[in-house]
Amino acid sequence: MGEFEAGALSPLALSILELLDERPMHPYEMASTMRERHHDEFIRLNFGTLYHTVDALEGKGWIVPSEREKEGRRPERTIYKLTDPGRGALTQTLGELLRQPVREYPHFVAGLMFMHHLEAREAAEHLTQRAALLDAKVEKLTGILKELGGRGYTRLSLIELEHKIAMLDAERKWVRKLEREITEGKLDWKVGIEPGHKELRGAHGSSKH
């Protein structure tokens, strides 16, 4: 694969390579297939970005035009196929994504880090609302999972949906537990290390700047 760097592929680029590993397609068919499989729940998808990514992958030699399709008065469509270097990029990236945890910076964690700047009651109310939104998201994705399963998709082809539902379910349970602890006064609403805990201050280096 030469200069290919593992992890450099965007989720959209990965999805394009994955679809072309199934069969040659033109970009419109790629987009419609992604939407049919609800990949847009995980991938930011619009035609401008899709065509830009197709051009970039073609520039790397990972996909190439295989034929051109013409239907009536519609503009001619280029059908692309995956090359051997493209398949290598796909398999290397997939291996890296499955094997190597990547540091992420979710917005929710930033909210938790600094929620002590709110009143405890206010923070609890926001968490209650978050839990309700998570309920709705889990219900929506569970419905999609059942719909696609009913249309003949295998569990393996829907495993990312199963993972997402499991993660959201765990989060909503944790959020509700945290909200209860705040509401019941079980979470001390103060930050930092107690003044008398010299051992902790020393361990964290807080006495030095």
Mean pLDDT of residues grouped by 10 in the chain (209 residues)? 56 96 95 92 90 95 84 72 96 92 90 95 98 97 95 94 97 98 94 65 49
Please choose, from the candidates 5, 185, 27, 31, the residue with its C-alpha nearest in 3D space to the C-alpha of residue 93. 5
Q: Whole-model pTM?
A: 0.78
CB atoms within 10 A of CB 69: 12
Angstrom CA distances, 26 to 18, 51, 125, stand at 13, 10, 48
Q: How far is CA 207 from the centre of its chain?
A: 40
What are the beta bridge partners of residue 78?
Answer: 68
Residues whose CB falls within 8 Å of the CB of residue 181, separated by 6 or more in sequence, listed in order:
187
DSSP one-letter string for 145-171 = HHHHHHTT--TGGGHHHHHHHHHHHHH
Write the pLDDT tens digit of every residue in 68-80.
765 655 556 899 9
